[in-house]
Structure 1
């Protein structure tokens, strides 16, 4: 696993996440197989969101591009999205954070648009002749 560091800067301070090469589940400050640190109030919000608190989705681009948190809320994209929530729409997410969100959205798009092809001329669900 490549080391990843995601940062989010706002007028209130900064929060940073660094993925660990060998995750330690009981590491102090550990979330999503990495370490989270920075301004205490921002860290608290990110932790709360990753623990399953609302919201279920966050707007990442206008006019209507939303990231939906995974059920486990433990991916790099979940961390980046939680940082956006902590900043309440104001702040700067690092390129690594945007890359994680972009990869997750592309993966989700590929999974939802890929469907098995139906035999030519057959309605969906019909038995082939």
Structure 2
């Protein structure tokens, strides 16, 4: 158990990977905001390479990253200092992936391996259809 109040309002949020996948699918599926507001969120700029991974672009609270099989995923990632790493993404066709780690990747290679899990969930032919959580 962690006291996350240092995160202010965000520290009060308690979610499971399934909750995050459901939320992201609804957001990017256009069920939570008017389309004009969602389009504004999706206007991106190149992400700071010291804060996100290569190829990432950042919008209003959302991240997009190209997929190795074409297209891109949209979502968000977060890190708790000294704690864990989580990412939720929605790919082409509305499929969602949520990944949570109990340790922050310590190297760029570890971060890229973490992102490769997301890429494989969307791009591998053997991946099941529908929502995937890891």
- Normalised by the shorter chain, which TM-score bucket? under 0.3
Compare relative contact order (CA 8 Å, sep 6+) and give the higher one, 1 or 2: 1
TM-score, normalised by the number of residues in structure 2: 0.26
